[in-house]
Structure 1
Amino acid sequence: MEAALDEIIAGLMCTDTKRIHESTAALGKAFENPEALPVLCQMLVSNREAQARQLAVVLVNKRLLKLRNWQMVPPEHQEGIKACMLQALIREKEKGVKTAIAQVIGTLVRHEADKKDSWLAELLTFIFQRCSMADPKESELGSSIFATLTDSAPDQLVSQMSEICQLFSSVLNTAQANGDMATPTVANMMEGMCSLIPFIVGHTSAEQTVAKVVPLMVFALQAFVQKGVVAEFTTAFEIIDSLAEYVPKLLNNYIKLLVEFCLAALGNKQIDDQIRILVVTFVGRMIRVKKKAIVKQKLLEPILLVVFEMMCCEYDSEDEDDYFSGTSNTPMTAATQTLDVMALQMSPEKLIPPLLQILEPALHNPDPLRRRAAFMSMAIISEGCSEAIKRKYLEVMLNIIKGGIIDQDPSVRNAAFFALGQFSEFMQPEISKFAPQILPVLFEFLQQLVAELQRGQPEPTHMDRMFYALDVFCENLEEEIVPHLPVLMARLFECMDQQNSIHIRQLALSTISSVATASKANLVPYFNPIVDILKNYLVNDCAVELNELRIQSIDTLAAITRTVGKENFMHLVQDTMNYCTNMLEQGPDDPDLRRAIYSLIGALSVVITENMTSIFPKVIERLIQSVVSTEDTLLKVREDSPTGGLLTEIDLGDTDNEDDDDDDIGDYQVENDYVFEKEEAIMTLKEFAKNSSIAFAPYLTMVFEEVYKTIDHGQDVVRKAAIAALSAFVVTLHKLNDTDGVKRACTILIPKFVSLVKNDEEQGVVCQVLEELGDLFKDVGRAALPTPDLAESVIGCIKDVLLNNTACQFNEPSGGGDEEEADESEYDEALIESAGNLVAMIGHSLEPETYSLYFGRMYTFFLTKLEKAKKNDDPDQRSFIYGVLAECFQSLGLCVVTYFDSLCPVLLAGTTDSDAKSRQNSYFGLGELVYHAEEKSFDSFGVILQALSEAIAKEQNAPALDNICGAVSRLIITNHNMVPLDHVLPVFMSSLPLREDTEENDVVLKAFRMLYLNARPSIANHIEQMLSVLLHVLFKREFSDEEMAANMAAFVKEIRNDYPGHFNNVANSSPNL
């Protein structure tokens, strides 16, 4: 038998496929002999080569994974196998073999766990005795067995959690008493405990034991650092990381100790880079879960100082792209990622002032590394602190960045351009008003680039970042880009010269895409030259080096197709569609190319809308293939796999339909191009539903089912795409008048959305769900919530967000008073605001009486939050709360009378707020409250009119002034007899037309109409002013929809017939009319 098994193992280890299959078949027959397992065990403890011993034990484990196979082993063989495995684990020196043995023991522990004479107890006794021995070799052996056992069967040790934690404490205390904590025994014990930490929650005595030895863990880590043993430190450090992830409360008393240890390690440049990367990443995790404690214990500034110093390190210029993208694994890039976490998780009011104290001297330092790090810091915090920067620092920081892009050092220029690009992305729309200062600087660099290239000089190092800044800035300018188009397009056309490198042409095409997005139909004068350029690259076959340029050309054409206007693109539709279908059928198997083609097909649906009928059969099947494809995740074999990948081709038989928890399989490796292909495929289907609803109707059910399968995808970009697309499909059903279809879809979708809000760990995904739910309720109405339990579940998830009880919120006890409310990050607040907005939006899907019940349960939360916002002088929160309350009144309808007496004083107080947005929302809210409360509001007309009168006399903010006009209009509509028109109308009319918030034109028109029909004498002296306002709105197209435009035009004609003289006066006085 032994010789036969030797022959089988040799066959399995060879490279001959045929022999492997023959050996696999022979193995299946061998296992029919009950002696096979004992013989394999004896081979394990023989002096055979390590690979053969390792494969022998793996084959044993594969065979015994299934309980019934273990139960079929005779009892005497079972005892022999258990004894053999324990003996082998003690003797074995090879790590790979030892790990494989531990996995067999883990399997056997699971199978034996329910027996009274549990083998686990015997095994643990052995481990406990060895770990407690004074002989370091014996304690190292015991701790090594402990680590491998907990790795393979942690769940089976839960019943012994308290005893194991006591052992862990004892080992650490003994090591400290002996004066050496950097021992293999300590490292093994920390490694083993790391596997148990996810199971410790709820085991009170175990938690207390572990919490008490946190300082000893830190001392051990310090000892490993001093010894410079990277592997041991890495292994041991994982337990601290696990504590922060699973039971952060156990670290509560040691925040200062942990952070100071981390900062000392990070500040020592002699320490191995891998250790510093681990530690600075852990600091980011601590910021996420213990930010309030870190602020309270005054640890934020020391952290910022150390992180900034790490960002000032020397770096290899060849890795510069990795530096900006954060993809390389160096202490410097890890530090930038931790600063990013700080910006996303900390309150900007806490983070920005101490950071500026660091940046200011760095910006004037002669060392370019410090100047570069300062600009990188500004770039990194731009996302997480965007609102605070826009409110307080934007102009100052932009002036600093402008100085940086003309710095003498190329690395500093690069960082400054990167900062400008980041600001352009995250500071919208406020940054656009600085276009006259920023664009000329960028154009100058573009002109210099073209001149240098024409002289044959090499491409400057700042070129990529310069294009990035130009690209992002232009994309968001909208009509403000129009005056700059002649100069900009001339420069970009010069960059597209065939003599220039492929990379420069690719960058220029990307910028043309952004220009098209911003300028829309204003791009028409440049449309034909752009198309002529694109034709050079929109080919079926091209050289490998030109493929990226071809993909960018497709992306650029897609951007132009969406924005240039149907009438301007229609003549290219057929050729474009033919190219798309041809590339899908015959083009290369390239996920990025398919992504670009999908985007272009989606753009075509914008142009030809319902005429997509003939195209859908050619493309939808391929889109669905990309949606359901698993190519975006590839299984990886674990590097520490006990089989070394040996068994990937071996079928052991008798394991059908078995969940064998294959330990060879490690994580999933994400293939980004396939992820983006999947995302674009989903978004293209969404575009079809939106733009071609009738033509797309036959496919709706199928695509809904297939896209729904991706809603739990591991990548958040795919989840967000699925959420958006599924919502769009429901809206399309509504547009098709399929009410039953809407109800069926929502019965599936709403519970899933609620689950995502509660359980998804990405704030961006949760915000997307909340926003899509709001749009769904507004677009679909009551069909979105066909049953009461759906409404109740949505309200429940809103409350969970408002109370910080979701998976993506770290509900850290503040340990302080109300002032802790000000410690929320902008991302935290964005999440709360999304949930608050949904409180208003859900009213569109409920009867007023039902909605009133829910509103009554939640509005006091907003009033409490408003008081805190006043106390903390938080204008963003105040404006948000006034706005949410105001948006609720329409859905409440007459039920708003229940809350009138509570809310009217709140909104009146808001009209005197120091913040313009808060005042604007309060004016709007007052008007809405009166409009919907009707008679209930009559007693308050006087005080409300007085407040509006005082406000209109001194209000300087244009949107706020517009909303005063809107509020007055609503009072007139509600009861014009209670408005002193002789006093109100002169001021009201002189404040028109509206300046910015043109949505209020609807109620202004209604007020005009009300007065014209019911109080004609009072407006006799204002007819010409009224006409001017109406004609202005019509001429500027500042109306909400075509129905409103038709009503206004009819009203103007009526006035012309009734007052021809006044009409002629107005017409003659305005050359535009």
Structure 2
Amino acid sequence: MESPDGRNHAPELDALLMACLSNNTEAIKAAEAALKRMTASPALIPQLLLRATNSPSPEVRQLSAVLLRKAVTKHWNKLTDMDRIHMQSVLLEQLVSEPHHSVRRSLGDLVGVVARYSVARGQWPGLLEFLGRCSASADSGHREVALALLASLAEHVADHLAEHISSLNQVVAAGLRDTAVEVRRAAVRVMEPLAALVADRGSAEVEAFHGLVAALLEVASSAYSSRSDDETLVQCLQLLVELCESSAPLLGKHLPAVVGLAMTVGTDTQAELSSREAALEVLHWVARFKPKQFGRNKDLVRRVVSALCTMAGEPAPPDLDPDDDGTLPPAKLATQALDAVALYLPSQTIFPGVLSFAKEAMSSQQVPHREAALTSLAVICEGCAEPLRKRLKELIPLLLTGLRDADAKVRGAAAFALGMAAEFLQPDIVEYYKEVLPLLFPLMVEGNADVCERTCYALDTFCEALEGSEIVPYLEQLVSGLGTVLTVTGPAVQELALSALASVVAAAREDFEPYLGPVLPVLHHFLSCTSPALIPCRCRATETAGLLFEGLGSDCAQLRSLAPAFADFGLQGFKMNSSELREYGHGMFSCIAKALGTDFVPYLQYTVPLALESIGLDDGVWGEDVLEDDEDEEDEDEEDEDEEARKEKQFRIRTGVLDEKCAATAALGVYAQAAPAAFMPYMEQTLSALTKMPGGMCRYFHEEVRVQAAEAMSRLVLAVYAACPPPAGATGAAAIMPQVRHVLDLALKELNRSLSDSDPAVATAALQSLTSLLKQLGVEALGGTAMRQLADAVEAILKGEACCQEVCDDDDDEGDDGDDEEDGDGDDEQEELLAAAAELLPVLAAAAGPQDYVPVFQSSHLPALIQRLKGHQPPGHRSVVVGGLAEVTEILKSHMTPHIGDIVPLLLKELRCTEATNRQNAAFCVGVLTEGCGGAAMAPHYPKLLQALHPLFDATENDGVRDNALGCVGRMMLADGGAGAALLPLEPLLPVFLGALPLKEDLKEASPVYGALCLMMAGDQAHRLAARAGQIMAAFGAAAVQKPSLPREVVTQIATTLATLTQKYPEPMGQLLALLSDEQRAVLEAAAATSTSATTTMSAAL
């Protein structure tokens, strides 16, 4: 084949190939550009083939094979039949004669590409015969070639190999048992593409593949036993990782053996660290992708946990330098693996072994053992959160002991563990803040950088969960200690200290105002930093400044006066080349906007364009092709070429830009909400940035950005609704102005599409945004189509049938032992999605009206809710379902009566649940069900319900649970206008009821609790309360003065009831009122003063 221009490119080609292999960057770029132009013509193919097969340089042969593969992809259909046959013949000859492995591999890839165009058309009949001859050759090099070729064919023409899969398995099996190590390695390499082929076939093919897995394990075991073939061992372990990811059960019955091999190698102190790391990576992937199959073998899991805990205490090799080559010490490898096991396997199997190890290791004289105890507890905090929460009384003493340890490494490990506990064991861990914080303060300033860093992390996560009243007593020590850290440490620790300061500010809110004096100069210093090393600190200072505005900016004149200065710092930050700083800048301006409201208007001209600019940044998610062909080149087989091009693409994702886009997207919604009218000129640009196709943030590739976009859409709608209010008297659809309708329709389109998103967080955000719009705009504004879509989406979520709820099941073909009650603890994102759906139910009922909503509820939503409360649903999922059921019952009331028989047995189960939240929600639900349906309807169930409620009144019960149990019984007493009390066994019930007062956490239950006592005291059941009159008066007095205070109307009702009773029964009531303290009498007198009829009587009696 001649060149179209008639030139002989041979000399030029040789020079270009050598230039590509040189060390001169400019020469390489120029040569690549020239080669790209030359390969646009098929005329170069013969010259490349000649060099791929005959060049004396292996580097030139390999590069020619790579270039030839690209040229064949583009020009195969332009070659003559004679050229094609010649190439096929020459390539097979060169494969068996090529002495260099790297060149053979490139030639094998080239043969695969040629096969892709030839085999499907029946144009290479001798290829498989050639493969068979090579595999049976006495020459080990030929056997290696056969397996390399098979790997390439399995990748490129898998469909055409399917009918030969049995014989191919035999070739691979023979290769795995070959005496030549290179052949065995080639056989291992072919298993990955072969596995992909097998995974799409039937169970018979998968079963046959299990035989190859057994042989693979033999290869790995042999390589491990030899102590000299780590290359093969690591190759086998890496393949096992790939097999784990397959949806097909490719490991089958060999999974325990795979785990056993991984643990044997991973925990062997004499093995190479690279092999140990690869082995523990297998364990990680088995836990992640085969959690059910792995988790059911509880004895194996326990052995794994024990071995990993022991390895966590292994000292680092003396010659290890992680900073030099990135190799992690064995202890770190072990805790990473333990973290993965805890995340994916049933926590009930993981937790006991780790806690037992920690208790024993904490008493060891060896520092690494004590450090391992605390680090092991730290890394399971996320995966084993539920059992750890229940056993905090055992966990906390271990952590506190660690904080007091004589060794700095142990103290640092304890601080890290406390940080992890504070992050994942909410809210229970916060109860121990009085014991924890005083021990952390001295560690902050002891002078050890590592301990200080971990202590700042612990303070950061712990303080983040505290409320104002809890953190106020420690503010002086926190501000002083963190201030010291910020002046004596380096940038890494300063960044964590500023992060901790941000958490303190967020927790203290308005109570932080007295400490602005020492903090503002610190922020000014870091907000002024321009050194690259201090940019992370500037980011944290920017975050802290924003949180100051969010916490106290709206009421703090000093801080509001500093808004221009902080804004200037923020705007200067956008001029620096830091995506992270821009991200925090958007966050700070969002906080300032929330604080200033319409006073933020002057800043919109700067902040909105900056946010739009961030959204428009190149996110780097584009492929770059090496020596790729021109886009406009014609090809008769474009589909194949596109496939090849896709394989060449390398994706780059700059996560800094991603986070910046998140913050910018969220900021636009906040700006619109803060200053609706002033934002209107920017509305169309913003809508375009969020919804335009392609490139809109609502359809961005990453779910975190889509979440922010979904949240922003509802804010934009409500902003334009505030800026363009309805005409006076307008209701329903007439209240929606044209400007609002334009934005609302766009929002509904995007949000309804997001309900079908594959990510649960996006669907949750969309559901919450639609809930907000429905609450504020009403049913008619959204329209019938949107309402039907919303109702259908809720039904799908409740049934677990939404797109984002599709779960890949790793069950194998060996059956299920039915022991699924421990299969994980539920997924937080799925629980949040379910909660969003449950919270929408009462909004739908209120917006549509009970009469219109009941048919939908009874036919679709209630059956799904009931089904969710059956079977092996995670406790967290059941809890949010019961909460949603209770809230919708408050709206539907007596419409729930026909369903009492279905609901009550499920609530009885939840009242006995080991999780406090489930018991609390169930008690509330029983109460509102009784309130709505009436005592007579519920009375047949009272005996069982009261029996289940009784333990909830115990002094050791969770405060919130006890308060809701009180509210539940109060509602039973109030049912049917107070007549319900006659259906209750008040004589044995009242002592338990009164003994559980006062309310401690859920003060919203005060109305039914004290309202029931007031109603009965003044009603026809008063005679049944007479024996408890003194206790009731004591309860009233305590309620009047308790802190935090009860709602004013509740105290007023108590005072009014006492006044009325005193007027009727002055002498006995006078004796009871004398039991009150001076403070209690004063409060009740003041409350009675709000009721003119009660004031005189009350005052006289008191």
Q: Shared fold by TM > 0.5?
A: yes
Aligned partner of 1:350 in structure 2 is: 349
Q: Give, in angstroms, the shift of residue 849 of structure 1.
A: 1.4
Deviation for aligned residue 1:1058: 1.8
Compared CA separation, residues 797 and 246, structure 1 to 2 (3 A): farther
How far off its partner does 1:992 sit?
A: 6.7
- Residue by residue over 1:93-121, the C-alpha shift from the partner in whole angstroms, topping out at 9 and shown as x without a partner, is 44554444334333333323442x242x5
2:606 matched residue in structure 1: 618
Q: Hey, what does 2:305 align to over in structure 1?
A: 304
Give 2:504's aligned residue.
515
Deviations 1:1005-1025 (A, max 9, x none): 987999999999999999999
CA distance in 2, matches of 1:746, 1:319: 58
1:132 to 129, 136, 148: 136
What amino acid maps onto 1:225 in structure 2? Y
Aligned to 2:183: 185
After superposition, what is the alpha-carbon deviation per residue over 1:411-448, rounded to whole angstroms, capped at 9, x for unaligned?
A: 22221211111112222222222122112111223354
* 1:640 paired residue number: none
Corresponding position of 2:369: 370
Secondary structure of 1:250 counterpart? coil
Structure 1 residue aligned with 2:800: 800
Q: 1:196-224 CA deviation, whole Å, 9 max, x = no partner?
A: 32332341232221023321111111123
Provide the rounded CA distance (Å) in 2 between the counterparts of 1:554 and 1:942.
57
Distance 1:814-1:398 versus aligned 2 partners, 3 A rule: farther
Q: Which amino acid aligns with 1:407?
A: D
1:661 correspondence with 2:644: yes
Listed as ranges, the matches of 1:966-977 within 5 Å are 966-968=967-969, 970-971=971-972, 975-976=976-977
* TM-score, with structure 1 as normaliser: 0.83
Matched AA of 1:487: Q
C-alpha change, 1:113 and 1:589, in structure 2 (3 Å) is: same
1:617 counterpart SS class = helix
Distance 1:1016 1:240, change over 3 A: closer
Counterpart secondary structure, 1:383: coil
TM-superposed CA distance for 1:538, in Å, is 2.5
Alignment of 1:912-931 (within 5 A): 917-931=917-931
Decide whether aligned partners of structure 1 residues 419 and 1027 sit closer, same or farther in structure 2, where only a CA change above 3 A counts: closer
Distance 1:1058 1:596, change over 3 A: same
Is residue 314 of structure 1 aligned with residue 315 of structure 2?
Answer: yes
Shift of 1:340: 1.0
User: Is 2:214 the counterpart of 1:215?
Assistant: yes
Aligned to 2:687: 701
Change (3 A) 1:681 1:776: same
Say whether the 8 Å CA contact 1:1027–1:1052 is kept in structure 2.
no
Assess, with a 3 A threshold, how the Cα gap between structure 1 residues 909 and 378 changes in structure 2: closer, same or farther. closer
| 1:40-79 pair list within 5 angstroms | 40-66=48-74, 69-79=75-85
Assess if the C-alpha contact under 8 Å between 1:417 and 1:469 holds in 2.
yes
1:577 corresponds, among 544, 567, 571, to: 567
Query: What does residue 406 of structure 1 align with?
Result: 404
The residue number in structure 2 matching 1:485 is: 475
Q: 1:37 maps to which residue?
A: 45
Alignment of 1:990-1069 (within 5 A): 994-1001=999-1006, 1036=1045, 1056-1062=1091-1097, 1064=1099
Superposed CA deviations along residues 302-324 of structure 1, whole A, max 9, x for unmatched, are: 2113222332333389999999x
Contact 2:587/2:667, CA 8 A, preserved across alignment: yes
- Output the TM-score relative to the length of structure 2: 0.81
* Contact preservation (8 Å) 1:911, 1:951: no
Distance 2:110 2:778 in 1: 58
Q: Which amino acid aligns with 2:313?
A: C
User: SS at 1:615's partner residue?
Assistant: helix
Q: Please list the CA deviations of residues 840-863 of structure 1 after superposition, one character each: whole Å capped at 9, or x if unmatched.
A: 634533623112211343244234
Partner of 1:123: 127
Q: What is the CA-CA distance between 1:829 and the residue it aligns to?
A: 7.5
1:468 aligns with 2:457: yes
Q: What residue in structure 2 maps to residue 160 of structure 1?
A: 161
Unmatched tracts of structure 2, length 5 or more:
724-735, 846-852, 1058-1083
CA distance in 1, matches of 2:126, 2:773: 60
Q: Deviations over 1:965-1002 (max 9, x none)?
A: 43355456652152347997988899776431123356
Residue 524 of structure 1 is aligned with which of 510, 513, 521? 513
| Paired letter, 2:342 | A
C-alpha deviations, 1:378-397, integer Å up to 9, x for none? 110111112211112x1322
- Which residue does 2:1063 correspond to in 1? none
Single out whichever of 341-350 and 90-99 deviates more from structure 2. 90-99
Equivalent-residue separation in structure 2 for 1:532 and 1:403 (angstroms): 37
Q: 1:537 aligns with which of 526, 529, 535?
A: 526
Whole-angstrom CA distance in 1 between matches of 2:303 and 2:941:
56
Question: d(CA) in 1 for partners of 2:36 and 2:168?
Answer: 42
Q: Which residue of 1 aligns with 2:234?
A: 234
**Aligned-partner residue type, residue 788 of structure 2:** P
Cα distance, 1:693–1:788 mapped onto 2, change above 3 Å: same
CA 1:931–1:129 in structure 2 vs 1: closer, same or farther (change >3 Å)? farther
Structure 1 residues 923-932 or 680-689, which shifts more? 680-689
In the alignment of these two chains, the number of paired residues is 1014
CA distance in 2, matches of 1:319, 1:480: 45
Change (3 A) 1:277 1:49: same
Question: What is the 5 A alignment of 1:561-600?
Answer: 561-568=549-556, 569-584=559-574, 587-600=575-588
Q: CA deviation at 1:274?
A: 1.9
Per the alignment, residue 94 of structure 2 pairs with 88
What code does the residue aligned with 2:350 have? L
- Alpha-carbon offset, residue 299 of structure 1: 0.3
Contact 2:399 2:418 (8 Å CA) reproduced: yes
Alpha-carbon spacing, 1:949–1:544, altered in 2? closer, same or farther (3 Å) = closer
Q: Report the residue type matching 1:440 in the other structure.
A: P
Give 1:138 shift: 1.8
Query: Residues 259-274 of structure 1: matches in 2 within 5 Å?
Result: 259-274=259-274
Compared CA separation, residues 614 and 142, structure 1 to 2 (3 A): same
- Which fold has the larger relative contact order, with Cα–Cα distance below 8 Å and residues 6 or more apart in sequence? 1
2-structure distance, mates of 1:295, 1:677: 39
**Shift of the alpha carbon at 1:188?**
1.3
Q: Which amino acid aligns with 1:428?
A: Q
Quickly say closer, same or farther: Cα 1:287–1:913, change in 2 above 3 A.
closer
1025-1034 or 511-520, which deviates more: 1025-1034
**Given residue 95 of structure 2, which amino acid in structure 1 is its aligned partner?**
L
Deviates more, 1:479-488 or 1:360-369: 360-369
Distance 2:494 2:979 in 1: 67
CA distance in 1, matches of 2:1049, 2:825: 32
Partner of 2:751: 749
Indicate the SS of the match to 1:756. Answer: coil
Q: Is the 8 A contact 2:135 2:142 kept in 1?
A: yes
CA positional deviation for 1:660: 6.1
Q: 1:900 to 1:118 in 2, by over 3 A?
A: farther
Question: Amino acid of the residue matched to residue 7 of structure 1?
Answer: E
1:480, CA displacement in angstroms?
0.6
CA contact (8 A) 2:546 2:587 kept: yes
Question: 1:599: how far off?
Answer: 1.8
Q: Which one-letter code corresponds to 1:105 in the other structure?
A: V
What is the distance in 2 between the residues matched to 1:615 and 1:729? 18
Between 1:375-384 and 1:945-954, the stretch displaced more is 945-954
Q: Aligned pair in 2 of structure 1 residues 414, 961: CA closer, same or farther (>3 Å)?
A: closer
Structure 1 residues 730 and 302: CA distance shift in structure 2, 3 A: farther
**What CA deviation, in whole Å up to 9, does each residue of 1:448-487 have, x standing for no partner?**
44xxxxxxxxx44422112222222222222211111223
CA root-mean-square deviation: 4.6
